[in-house]
Chain A
Amino acid sequence: MVQSKVDENVRQRAHTDSVGNALWSVLRRSDTSVVLAALILFVLFSFSNSSFLTPFNLFNVSRTAALYVFVALGQAMVIVIGGMNLSLGAIGGLTVVVAGWCMDTMGWSPWIGVPAAMLAGTLCGMFNGFIIIKSRLNSFIVTLASLFIFTGLVQGISQGFPYSNIPKDFTMLGRDDFFGVPYLFIFAVIVLIALGYMFKFRVVGRRILATGGNLEAARLSGIRTDNIVFLSHTLSGVFAATAGLLWVSRMGSAQPSTGTDWLIISFAVAIIGGTALNGGEFSALGILASAIMLTLIKNGLIMLNVNVYFEQTFLGVIVLLAVSVESIRMSLDSRTKRTQTDTP
């Protein structure tokens, strides 16, 4: 029944005019539903809670959403080539600790501390990428191991103590705003636009997507896929480091526990934002919408006085829902393809 309906759809699609085609392609986009969901949630909260539309709350929501964007980008960079980075949070944590150690323990200026922390995160990403392409192991097992390596470094260096003496001119980035819009949010939007551009218009972006679509075919089409895999993991490290630094800047202190909750956040935002789990698809708009949506849900849970200790349970359920929807979308999509792959 479903099958015949889908076939009907496909047949209709072939015959409808270009307006119909355009509408169909919008509906088929993986990010349409999350944008709609975020909008609906926003409207719902605006009506149901008088304190939601206050500048203070909006400021906070957009700041958290911006941080989620960077965390999600760290994951999206490797999901897009069909991989994953379980060590993302640990890289973030290590970045935070390096930044704290430089600025607090050593008393260096942010001009040294920030680049040093960025470098640490980037090197972690490069380490993952290097091991993956040289060992030919999959990213799951490699980043699982490096998760422990990096976590150990975080705990070893910090001994578990936070670094609280962070210079004011650095925390400005995480706390101040430009006409009511947090710098963090503006920064996130700029980076998303740049990435959207990269994946659509730059050769390297296209090659990343091609590698994610079919690594073997990409390599046999003249793409140096090892370089692409390495690059993706490096970018993952860069975004983990960025997220870590912004976290420090927002909190005003460097907490070694930063990043411990990133695993679920990063997958949740990236997947709900339309990054196809088996690679080859990226949506900047989707990631923004999904970061906002998750922040709103979190915000809403607090307003509803839900016990915050259950937060991770909610996130987990949302991720499950998102991947279920994704898998339904994929199977609907592939209904028409499946028989193709079976062709003798």
Chain B
Amino acid sequence: MLQIRHITKSFPGVRALSDVSVDFTPGEVHAIVGENGAGKSTLIKIICGIYAPDAGEVVLDNEPITLHAYKDALDRKINLVSQEIQVIPKSTVAENIMLDKLDRYLSRGRIDWRRINQDAARYAEMVDLPVPVTELVAGLSTAQKQLIMIARALSSDARILIMDEPTSALTRHETDNLLQLLRRIKSEGVTVLFVSHKLEEVLAVADQVSVLRDGNLIGTRPIAGLTKEQIVQMMIGRDARTLDLGKLDVSAGRAALEAHGISQAGRFHDVGFALHRGEILGFYGLVGSGRTELAQILIGEARKDGGDVFIDGKPARIHSMADSLFKYRMGYVSENRKEKGLILSAPIRTNIAVTVWNRLCDRFGSIQLAAETATARQFMQALEIRATGPHQMVSSLSGGNQQKVSIAKWLAAQCDILIIDEPTIGVDIGAKEYIHQLIWNLAQREGKSIILISSDMPEIINVARRILVFKDFKIVGEVRNNGEDGARVRGYEEISQEIGQFLA
């Protein structure tokens, strides 16, 4: 039996897990659910030896174990099917399935491919992989690659099988097969840890569910008798759903940005929408549904094959972020701030002033360092960025403060239109609420027009009053939650159901 006892893990600025204890019984599917940043990944990584806990212990068969690396976990037959697809494209399906035990198939210095293919075929069949095991992996679909990873885990006779969002790339049919498979595996006495956002799957397959929220274990319950609503309640807490930011009246607003007939070969076909002045417009959909991709077209980072963009009613020609910023005052707070939003090795000062250096020059064209520092200070204060000063390196800030810095540079640039992409991934709950309030204030008080891209349902419902639902590079629906006077008229449940209908 696997147990975790009083596990605590902190990263600078964020407590990822605090005092979490769970028992995982053999022969059970144990679901772990929670919002983005709730601590699920951290928990899994601790069980797999990828992170060491600050406090607490992992106990296997009543014996505390110390894992220094994933390999230690593998040796104890703890197997992880991670969210990211890890396959070798130029090898066959069979090689990929048997990857970690090819050395068992040596006979007289040569690899016995026939035996490998035979054994691999058995596991491929278990996961219903519809291609011959001698096929190269390169040409397969994402779903098929995911099935290969699952087959690989099965082939190592795992005692504890951890699946991190295993169905995110799978079709309905493949998912059903997988769930069936999990039921079979557990009946053989394996402990299955099932991490998923999809509560229907959790309800269908799990025996127990543990809910995490902001690093705390809210509870572990038997699934029997639980409803989806009860789980959601545990995941997001009551207040998150009833949070009402107030009135946002955009009825008189002109369109700040309009897009007509946007097309991109193989992706978008004739997509259009309008963003009103002072409005917060939500782009909701799964990753890869076209939200971010449409934003990339708007800011000129991706080419469009057809269609027009109008800013303030005038046609806009935007071929790069530089055009977008300097000609049309449209900013983009990128998703994945560490890779695309921030210069981690540079101080806060640089990261905020990067968009306005040419405005901070004296008449000889030299940047005035005092003005630069003052600008940074101003926005550090305005956004309550907690740091020792403008000279602190951005890399040493917490996730929430980093996010504030990446928003600050666009405020410094005095952008009228802001596209904000997944602003609260990896930030703690306090900073998250602060960022929601900040986005709200930018629209309501300063009249900025904002597109909020998010896959976080409560976030998009609370902050945006008009939501475009994206699926397969199409806008499949529009959900309005704006009354006559700009007040919110419908509750969380109703809106989330409407969004769900569009996605179904």
Measuring CB to CB, which residues of chain B are less than 8 angstroms from any residue of chain A? Answer: 11-14, 16, 37, 39-42, 51, 301, 320-322, 324-326, 332, 334, 338-346, 350, 354-355, 357-358, 361, 365-367, 369, 388, 393, 395-399, 409, 413, 426
Q: Which residue, of A214, A220, A337, has the highest number of chain B Cβ atoms within 10 A? A: A220
Q: Which of A210, A280, A337, A340 has the most CB of B within 10 A?
A: A340
A29 close to B (CB within 8 Å):
no
B11 lies within 8 A of A342 (CB): yes
**A79 to B: closest C-beta gap in Å:** 14
Contact A340 B367 (CB under 8 A): no
Instruction: Determine the chain A residues whose CB is within 8 A of the CB of B39 once the complex forms.
Output: 344
Seen from chain A, the residues whose Cβ lies within 8 Å of a Cβ on chain B are: 14, 197, 200-203, 206-207, 209-210, 213-214, 216-224, 276, 280-281, 334, 336-337, 339-344
Decide if A221 touches B409 in the complex (CB within 8 Å).
Answer: yes
A76 CA to B439 CA, complexed, in Å: 41
| Residue pair B12, A336 in contact (C-beta under 8 Å) | yes
Question: What are 11 inter-chain pairs, A to B, with CB distance below 8 A?
Answer: A201-B369, A206-B350, A217-B341, A219-B301, A220-B321, A221-B325, A223-B354, A276-B345, A336-B12, A344-B16, A344-B42
Q: Which residue from B40, B354, B358, B367 sits with its C-beta under 8 Å from A221?
A: B354
Bound Cα distance A339, B18 (Å): 17
A337 to B51, CA, bound (A): 15
Q: In the assembly, what is the distance between CA of A214 and CA of B336, in Å?
A: 13
Query: How many angstroms from the CA of A298 to the CA of B148 in the assembled complex?
Result: 58
For B361, list chain A residues within 8 Å (CB): 203
At the interface, is chain B mostly helix, strand, loop or mixed? Answer: mixed
- Which of B325, B339, B346, B367 has the most chain A CB atoms inside 10 A of its CB? B346
**Complex Cα distance A213/B37, Å?**
27
Residues in B whose Cβ lies below 8 Å from that of A343? 11-14, 16, 398-399, 426
Check B409–A336 contact: CB distance below 8 A.
no
Contacts of B340 on A, CB cut-off 8 Å?
216-217, 220
Contact A217 B322 (CB under 8 A): no
With A220-B301, A224-B320 known as contacts, the answer to whether A203 contacts B11 (CB < 8 A) is no
CA distance A216 to B409 in the complex (A): 15
For B37, the closest partner residue in chain A by CB is: A344
Chain B residues closer than 8 Å to A222, beta-carbon distance: 321-322, 324-326, 354-355, 413
Contact partners of B332 in chain A: CB under 8 A: 220
Instruction: Give the docked Cα–Cα distance between A280 and B340 (Å).
Output: 15
A207 CA / B42 CA spacing, docked (Å): 36
Taking A222-B413, A339-B12 as known contacts, 4 extra A-B pairs with beta carbons closer than 8 A to each other, sorted by chain A number, are: A14-B388, A210-B354, A343-B14, A343-B16
Q: Is the CB of B346 within 8 A of A220?
A: no
User: Quick check: B343 and A214 within 8 Å, CB to CB?
Assistant: yes
Q: A222-B322, A337-B344, A344-B42 are in contact. Are A203 and B357 (CB under 8 A)?
A: yes
Residues of B within 8 Å of A14, CB to CB, are 388
Q: Is the CB of A206 within 8 A of B367?
A: yes
Measured in the bound complex, the distance between the Cα atoms of B320 and A216 in whole Å is: 12
Across the interface, name the chain A residue whose C-beta is closest to B427: A343
- Inter-chain contacts of A214 with B (CB < 8 A): 339, 342-345
Which of chain B's residues have a CB closer than 8 A to the CB of A207?
A: 357
**In the assembled complex, which residues on chain B have CB atoms less than 8 Å from the CB atom of A200?**
367, 369
C-alpha spacing A276/B344, complex, angstroms: 14
For residue A342, which residues in chain B have a CB less than 8 angstroms away from its CB?
11, 51
